[in-house]
A = this chain, B = another copy of it.
């Protein structure tokens, strides 16, 4: 049963205009306010990271060498590091790690593989800044969750050092949108529709093969990749993207954990301080990341 706070937030979503009905410039503007309900994190120092067009969230007691690379979501067409500033702060506190939120180029202006190239570059830059691969994880939400996993596939291909774990939140990892939940959870998902996902996917792919694992990692072979923790809402059409990622990760030889938050909508873990469920999700992520990076 969702908390009273969650039910109140869902009611506000239901009352407001649907993002998917807006034109792209208005959707981009709206996506910058995604963290509106999120509480301001305490004890975080923010720094610019101009080399990757992003920001750092540094916790009071940052663990030596520990870092999180966080890839913001927005269907590969929306979003920015600033749109996940507070989430980065809460994650820094939860994990005891410095959190880097880089920019990456967006579609339709910059289609596949621009976002992936930028994410790989950000990981390399992070390691150059004193982060240790074995004390770091790659995270992301929505398309950023899919991109996080695609980044690991690209790093493996390029024989780069891999992080100690990967934590996709409400990941979008199948640009063909073939999961059963696309149909079975459509009536309860207030934020995503299959049609709008497919539209953004077309912009990102710009004719590239959707089943390329570097675009849709559910189709990938995960051999040699690190452990994975996926969190997703029970009321998301994207639920099965998370399910399929954990199955693929385990088949590839890494332990995989899936948490499905009952009654939760897309991206719920970003609303820390506003939803007790988000605070619990951050606690779970923090424990998982610390266990794998200490």
List the interface of chain A (C-beta within 8 A of B): 1, 181, 184-185, 234, 239-240, 243, 246-247, 249-263
Contact = CB atoms under 8 A, between A and B. Distances in A.
Contacts of A246: 258, 260
Among A181, A250, A251, the most chain B Cβ lie within 10 Å of the Cβ of A250
Q: Chain A interface secondary structure, helix, strand, loop or mixed?
A: mixed
Given A1-B253, A253-B1, A247 B263 contact: no
A253 B263 contact: yes
Contacts of A184: 251
30 contacts: A181-B247, A184-B251, A185-B251, A234-B250, A234-B253, A239-B247, A239-B250, A240-B247, A243-B243, A243-B247, A246-B258, A246-B260, A249-B262, A250-B260, A250-B261, A250-B262, A252-B262, A253-B262, A254-B262, A255-B259, A255-B261, A255-B262, A256-B259, A256-B260, A256-B262, A257-B257, A257-B260, A258-B258, A258-B259, A258-B260
A289 to B, nearest CB: 16
State the copy count for this chain.
Answer: 2
Given A250-B261, A252-B262, 5 more contacts: A185-B251, A234-B251, A246-B260, A256-B262, A257-B260
A259 B246 CA distance: 9
A221 to B, nearest CB: 13
Contacts of A256: 234, 259-260, 262
Among A185, A253, A262, the most chain B Cβ lie within 10 Å of the Cβ of A262
Contacts of A247: 181, 239-240, 243, 260
Contacts of A259: 255-258
Contacts of A257: 257-260
Nearest to A228: B260
Contacts of A185: 251
A243 B246 CA distance: 10
A262 B246 CA distance: 10
Contacts of A261: 250, 255
Contacts of A251: 184-185, 234
Nearest to A261: B255
A250 B253 CA distance: 26
A111 to B, nearest CB: 31
Contacts of A239: 247, 250
Contacts of A263: 253
A184 B250 CA distance: 13
